[in-house]
Amino acid sequence: MQGLMQDWSMTLDKILDHARANYPDVEIVTRSIEGPIHRTNYGRVWERAKQVSHALADKRVVQGDRIATLAWNTWRHLEVWFGVSNMGAVLHTINPRLFPEQIAWIANHAGDKVLFLDLTFLPLVEKLAPNLHTIETYVILTDREHMPQTSLKNAIAYEDFIAGRPTDYRWGDFDENTAAGLCYTSGTTGDPKGVLYSHRSNMIHAMCVNQKDCFAVGVEDVVLPIVPMFHANAWAIAFIGPMAGAKLVMPGAKLDGPSVCDLIETEGVTMTAAVPTVWMMALQYLRETGKRPGKLRRVAIGGAAIPETVLRAFEEDYGVEVVHAWGMTEMSPVGTLGALQAKHANAPIDERMRLKLKQGRALFSVEMKIVDDAGKELPHDGKTFGRLLVRGPSVAKAYFRNEGARRPDGTVLEADGFFDTGDVATLDPDGYMQITDRAKDVIKSGGEWISSIDIENFAMGAPGVACAAVIGVKHPKWDERPILIVEPRAGADAPSREAMLAHLEGKIAKWWMPDDVVFVAKIPIGATGKINKLELRKMFQDYVLPSAQAAE
């Protein structure tokens, strides 16, 4: 027997329609690329997104065509975001921090027809243009007044592109499984792979991520998505904002400590989200200036493990609740969040911090399990670690154009329909998951695994440390041994090798102790703002450990 409820296909146009119907004058504030602060609202964004759809239709863009952006978080990017997806085309957000050759490779692989780009990226795109084989039109996200001279063929200023277009475009009206967005993984192993989100997967994901224990954004909130829209859907915030009617504050190109803290204070931001490296800079700025983070009450931190110093600074020094999130591009991206269970809410502070440093519990709609190399399920005892597998309506089953396919139908899943995250983790009886490493970063010493993330977390808390990373280097007897790479904090007394090792003593197992400590001026950061282990491994590939010399 079938239910007797209405068909209401879950397409993303419903989100912006809802915002326009209920919160037309709620603001979207942007630090514009041209400089000044710009203000608009959901009503205006709705109209201009309709104009974007019209302008694209005029360029013969049809359902399924890929339309790319190389853009920061701004109101114009938001208009393009909805204007493209709502007409049934596919919004391909390109990460501008990738290597230029990768950007060209991705745009060609995606077959992008139109590219919307910020002024910042014009020199880059001009250089790449001879190798961009499918792009017919370049739309520069600015107005005529700021439109620069350019060698790009068929380039037009965004404001001219949409000017005078009607605002009556018919959005939606297609199947909810239609592709809505395309986002490539950063390709730390092999070529980047395209994750193709559907309207339905994005809608379900946004609804689940905004539950009370998760982002909990409501109509009274002012939300600053620092996580870029090109980094896995800005963790759904560009959908959650208009769904909830929250004011959005878009940081544009300036993601440094002073710029971010200034927006938090002047715009009354209550909730924000970014990777840890952003917060390390922002917290340093707050410490140095003695300023406070205004009305901020919640911060979502994810994309990499939160260093304990960052967690404690927010929670203890500033009274801001930290929500630790874990996920990946293939999961739309959020998989777990760090809200504590009721029975832990009043635990002693150190116990709460220990739990919050774990990556959190599965949000509704995500199933998780850990397995050994033979695929056998492992116990949820908080100690045993294994490969972390996930399943759910917002988890990828295949990559665009069947890249990396493992099965004849093009999918990349295990036989039971689970997706291998490439992470190694523990699960405890209360459902808290803890990443111990990425499978490719795990250090294999004498047949046992050492977690680089654990050691890094402790090392980052040592005095005088700006950033710390742990990688495995070759060892004749043990296969691999960990070394600790430290970037000292500018202006502080540089820590010594002995002080670093003494700091770790008693916090980690003896055999996890790094065999050496190396100091570098800068630890390389990758395209999504995380420590670039691949680069570090290259830097240290010929490194000979003192302990290795002794063993030979």
Phi (first) and psi of residue 165, to 5 degrees: -75, 150
From 127, 154, 157, select the one nearest 143 (Cα to Cα).
157
Active site residue 449: yes
Residues 247, 26: contact at Cβ < 8 Å?
yes
| Closest-approach residue to ligand ADP (CB) | 186
**Pairwise CA distance, residues 207 & 298, whole Å:** 18
Q: Would you tell me how many other CB atoms lie within 10 Å of the CB of residue 356?
A: 24
Q: Which of 530, 539, 543, 547 binds ligand ADP (CB under 6 A)?
A: 530
Q: Are 101 and 132 a contacting pair, CB within 8 Å?
A: no
Burial 225-261 (b: 16+ CB within 10 A, else e): bbbbbbbbbbbbbbbbbbbbbbbbbbbbbebebebbb
Tell me the torsion sign for CA atoms 510, 512, 514, 520.
negative
Q: Is 16 in the site for ligand ADP (CB under 6 A)?
A: no
Nearest residue (CB) to ligand ADP, 85 versus 528? 528
Q: Which of 330, 456, 480, 487 is labelled catalytic? A: 330
Question: Can you read off the two tokens belonging to residue 323?
Answer: 């929500």
For ligand ADP, give the closer residue by CB, 16 or 236.
236
**Out of 74, 93, 137, 185, which one is annotated catalytic?**
185
- Residues numbered 241-260 forming contacts with ligand ADP, rule: CB under 6 A: none
DSSP string computed for 304-321: SPPPHHHHHIIIIIS-PE
Torsion sign over Cα 199, 200, 204, 209: negative
Q: Which stretch binds ligand ADP (CB under 6 A): 30-38, 242-250, 319-327, 477-485?
A: 319-327
Exposed/middle/buried for residue 505 (C-beta within 10 Å: 0-12, 13-18, 19+)? exposed
Q: Are 279 and 299 in contact (CB under 8 A)?
A: yes
427 is an interface residue for ligand ADP by CB under 6 A: no
DSSP state of 188: S
Sign of CA dihedral 80, 83, 86, 91: negative
Distance CA 392, CA 366 (A): 5
Whose tokens are 């004849």? That residue is 408
186 binds ligand ADP per the rule CB under 6 A: yes
Q: Which is nearer to ligand ADP, 210 or 528 (CB)?
A: 528
To ligand ADP, the closest distance from the beta carbon of 189 in angstroms equals 9
Q: Which stretch binds ligand ADP (CB under 6 A): 165-173, 327-335, 474-482, 489-497?
A: 327-335
Q: Is 232 in the site for ligand ADP (CB under 6 A)?
A: yes
330 is catalytic: yes
Cβ atoms within 10 Å of 313's Cβ, excluding its own? 20
Which are the contacts of 310, defined by CB distance < 8 A and separation ≥ 6? 276, 279, 280, 283, 301, 322
Among residues 127, 383, 440, 444, the one annotated as catalytic is 444
Q: What are residue 467's DSSP bridge partners? A: 487
Q: What is the dihedral of CA 10, 12, 16, 18, to 10 degrees?
A: 10
Pick the stretch among 148-156, 257-265, 418-426, 468-476 that binds ligand ADP (CB under 6 A).
Answer: 418-426
- Mask for 261-300, x = binds ligand ADP (CB under 6 A): ----------------------------------------
Q: How far is the CB of 186 from ligand ADP (least distance, A)?
A: 3
- Using the rule CB under 6 A, which residue among 40, 51, 277, 359 binds ligand ADP? 359
Query: Is residue 377 flagged as an active site residue?
Result: no
Residues 329-358 that bind ligand ADP (CB under 6 A): 329, 333
Binding residues among 461-520 for ligand ADP as defined by CB under 6 A? none
Q: Round to whole Å and give the CA distance between 416 and 24.
A: 45
How many helices (H) and strands (E) in the chain? 16, 25
Binds ligand ADP by CB under 6 A, chosen from 75, 158, 326, 512: 326
Q: Closest distance between ligand ADP and the C-beta of residue 492, in Å?
A: 26
User: What are phi and psi for residue 275, nearest 5 degrees?
Assistant: -75, 160
141/531 with CB nearer ligand ADP: 531
Query: Residue 451, interface with ligand ADP (CB under 6 A)?
Result: no
Query: Which residue in the set 41, 73, 457, 528 belongs to the binding site for ligand ADP (CB under 6 A)?
Result: 528
- Cβ 513 to ligand ADP, closest distance in Å? 22
- In the complex, least distance from residue 238 CB atom to ligand ADP, rounded to whole angstroms: 16
Contact region with ligand ADP (CB under 6 A), list: 47-55, 185-193, 263-271, 277-285: 185-193
**Least Å distance between CB 207 and ligand ADP?**
21
Which residues ranging from 299 to 318 are in contact with ligand ADP (CB under 6 A)? 302-305
CB of 225 to ligand ADP, least distance (A): 15
Closer of 52 and 453 to ligand ADP (Cβ): 453
Rounded-to-5 percentages of helix, strand, coil across the chain: 30, 25, 45
Compute the least distance from the CB of residue 190 to ligand ADP, in Å: 12
Q: Which stretch binds ligand ADP (CB under 6 A): 181-189, 257-265, 394-402, 467-475?
A: 181-189
- 105, 315, 403, 449: the catalytic one is 449
Examine the residue annotation and report whether 444 is marked as an active-site residue of this protein. Answer: yes
Give the binding site for ligand ADP (CB under 6 A): 185-186, 188, 232, 302-305, 324-329, 333, 359, 421-423, 435, 438, 528, 530
Q: Which of the residues are catalytic?
A: 185, 330, 444, 449
